[in-house]
Structure 1
């Protein structure tokens, strides 16, 4: 298909701040102009934005990572969820303020660009690529586990390990994980409205399924399973919180839909806070029910954890486990869909700023979707999902997210000082204390991650700096301030 350049009215000309290339900044006004004049279509209201964040969040930790966190924290996994939730809350408040102030598609990448300069913005965007891409891959791996569990419960047959597990877990290729990522791409290519409708249906199903799990698991509840509460000490609780923070990733998904929201200044902050409140309540309830029904020592090595809790601890045959596994398959499908959506929009924003190749910001005129970016992201995530074990994916996602969240909290403090008069649809209460606590909480949880995760994160950052040095710094739109910026669109033949 031929491409043409179309004016965007981005307002980038004259928006450079900072004395050198590494510290040059976008202005808030320029970012807002991009958001208001971009090619993405505004089709989402408050309910759709809230469900987008819930869809990206709910299910990731409960359906996938809980089985790995319980052996680390013991019964204190419930406290680990609370600690991870508080850590997320501080950052959620900061996201709410900045999303209402800068309602673009770039999320924390754009916020960093307006406050900390181009190099830090690039690092933040690179972290988001890690966060979203690896998160999708991790959830896709979990989706494959529940598909196998469902096959075992219904027909007594499962996929062989060679086709259902990555090389690190005794297999050759995780085919189910790759399949779900590709299916999500098919839905995303149809358009944002269609994706939002599909997500709304799936979110409703998984909320109902988790409430059902709590109701059934509480029939086998034993208070003695929580004694002692901290068998592995507070250090175990902290390690569990670091792993479970992965399960809160996604509440910021609404901030990536800033250019597709009907009333972003009003609805984005509300959607972020509402989604986090709902998710936290459900997570704590499910963790309490799961550990109450099955002693924490029996969680080690379990896949499809919630289903196994019902199989091992609750009577009634296979009915409840089958229903739960169906719900888990739908739930993880929703996470794959919405998180993949968010990554594509962040790459769209980085491409529009010139820091990524222009093909990521090419928008199809009929569907309003960055089509080339969607296909490329899907290919990248499919490879990760098919070849990398779940535990490594979850920890890598957490560290990238925590780094980005810390930058968002700092951005609130900087913009409060630099642009106090800028309109804000929401203001973080008790600032600067709350954002500073957000930074401290992120650093504290990052401390609980293992050395291997830090080494992998360092390697990812080194690769990102190399890409920025070879491409981003030379193609940055802020380096071409003499002429207005253009946005690339695809045309049909």
Structure 2
């Protein structure tokens, strides 16, 4: 008689199954919602390194990387619609070790992004309630949205779509309200790393700003982790991805330009709430528009925070189901059919990061900047292994069903791969301490990986990867 952990019949693994309830609009909401907080904060730290004009060039380069990456990544997502996302693709292409590299990178990305967003939520609330400690508010956000994710993916996805639409509306309102004070001279003053003229030093600043340009788009690939809960992933995911990346590119450029042209952009380059502070230049501190921005701005932060909790929990769930993490993390709630243990596990790590100033605030960077950079390291490594997986599977498994094929292959994935490698190299150069911490996480995880081979051998058969 087989135990629960070794039951391999497709319909028998009831404690390891997710409900298929998500449609195209909900997936688009997740795609945009995962990322849209990047339009509200984080990116402006790039101004401190590159200046406004230098950062525009960096952001356009990264936007091109993400656009080509998403068109290429969609081929993997629709060919292997698996909650593990990049882990599943790399394991299919390169075996267990490849799967480990992808899972370690993706976990760092998706577990460290939420605490950065939670701190921004705390900063926005602190504007309205000066007596409220931002870290305590950040922890409260974790508790509320972990609970919402546990209640059910249908409710969570509907909420995500609503707050994403409100967040987009709010960004358009922001651009409209500051437009009367738009002055291009404000944006261009000191626009080349603090100088009015371009120099070789401008290149230094543009490369240093790469992590914060990536923050504009970080985590859009998380839709892949909802693939097992999509009604028709082979049709709906390509639509959601393509529409999502186009939406985000337009919003990112608009927000960056309008915020920088509103006043002295140097005062916005090292804070967690650049949009409310930019609006102050135009409408003053006590304007009703100002208060509206703070409250509606929370929708953008909440959309990403909530969406990434959904993403990291599915990643942890899939890894535990495959034996890469402790098996008890793969249990789904008997009533809500959501990976409740995985949701709580990621939350514990995130809350610990919020209160770890002494450990994470180093190298002259703020706590938020270091958490953002750590998350971006994970993302870039995952992008590299994903594009390598795409090339490998095209050769090793040419007959695989591919409902969506990467356009302009091999040029799109090759550009995305080269851009990601350049980004990783420059990030290591400019953020060596964070890179070493990231490497330590990966090394410790690899030790666990080597010691738990038996755990993976007795894990339930993964039908999607065995077919």
Same-fold call, TM cutoff 0.5: yes
Deviation at 1:227?
4.5
1:255 and 2:224 correspond: yes
Partners of 1:404 and 1:34 in 2: CA distance: 32
Partner of 2:9: 9
1:463 and 2:444 correspond: yes
Partner of 2:87: 109
1:370 and 2:339 correspond: yes
Question: Deviation per CA, 1:368-391, whole angstroms, max 9, x where unpaired?
Answer: 111222222222211112334211
Residues 302, 308 of structure 1: 8 Å contact kept: no
Residues 349, 361 of structure 1: 8 Å contact kept: yes
| 2:413 aligns with one of 427, 435, 439 | 435
Mean Cα displacement is larger for which, 107-116 or 418-427? 418-427
**What pairs with 1:226-237 in structure 2 (closer than 5 Å)?**
226-227=188-189, 229-231=191-193, 233-237=202-206
Deviation at 1:235?
2.5
Q: Structure 1 residues 383, 316: CA separation in 2 closer, same or farther (over 3 Å shift)?
A: closer
Partners of 1:379 and 1:298 in 2: CA distance: 33
The number of aligned residues is 440
1:305 and 2:274 correspond: yes
Residues 410, 436 of structure 1: 8 Å contact kept: no
**What pairs with 1:133-282 in structure 2 (closer than 5 Å)?**
133-151=111-129, 157-159=130-132, 163-164=133-134, 174-225=135-186, 226-227=188-189, 229-231=191-193, 233-282=202-251
Deviation at 1:352?
1.4
1:474 and 2:454 correspond: yes
Mean Cα displacement is larger for which, 122-131 or 313-322? 313-322
Partners of 1:303 and 1:438 in 2: CA distance: 29
Partners of 1:332 and 1:64 in 2: CA distance: 9
Partners of 1:405 and 1:351 in 2: CA distance: 22
Give the SS at the match of 1:58.
helix
Partners of 1:134 and 1:190 in 2: CA distance: 23
Deviation at 1:38?
6.0
Deviation at 1:295?
2.9
Deviation at 1:52?
0.6
Deviation at 1:322?
0.9
1:96 and 2:86 correspond: no
Deviation at 1:474?
2.8
Deviation at 1:204?
1.2
Deviation at 1:315?
4.6
Partners of 2:396 and 2:9 in 1: CA distance: 25
Deviation at 1:297?
2.3
Partners of 2:271 and 2:455 in 1: CA distance: 48
Partner of 1:491: none
1:71 and 2:51 correspond: no
Partner of 1:390: 368
Deviation at 1:229?
4.2
Residues 182, 258 of structure 2: 8 Å contact kept: yes
Question: Deviation per CA, 1:384-409, whole angstroms, max 9, x where unpaired?
Answer: 12334211100001111000011111
Partner of 2:199: none
Partners of 2:8 and 2:167 in 1: CA distance: 39
Q: Structure 1 residues 303, 355: CA separation in 2 closer, same or farther (over 3 Å shift)?
A: closer
Residues 265, 425 of structure 1: 8 Å contact kept: yes
Deviation at 1:302?
3.1
Deviation at 1:324?
1.0
Question: Deviation per CA, 1:301-320, whole angstroms, max 9, x where unpaired?
Answer: 43311100011344584212
1:121 and 2:99 correspond: yes
Partners of 1:335 and 1:8 in 2: CA distance: 35
Residues 40, 369 of structure 1: 8 Å contact kept: yes
Partners of 2:232 and 2:149 in 1: CA distance: 22
Partners of 1:9 and 1:309 in 2: CA distance: 57
Partners of 1:79 and 1:293 in 2: CA distance: 20
Give the SS at the match of 1:247.
coil
Partner of 1:284: 253
Residues 49, 193 of structure 2: 8 Å contact kept: no
TM-score, normalization: structure 2? 0.89
Task: Give RMSD over aligned pairs.
Answer: 2.3
Q: Structure 1 residues 36, 261: CA separation in 2 closer, same or farther (over 3 Å shift)?
A: farther
Structure 2 unaligned regions, length at least 5 = 195-201, 358-366
Residues 55, 338 of structure 1: 8 Å contact kept: yes
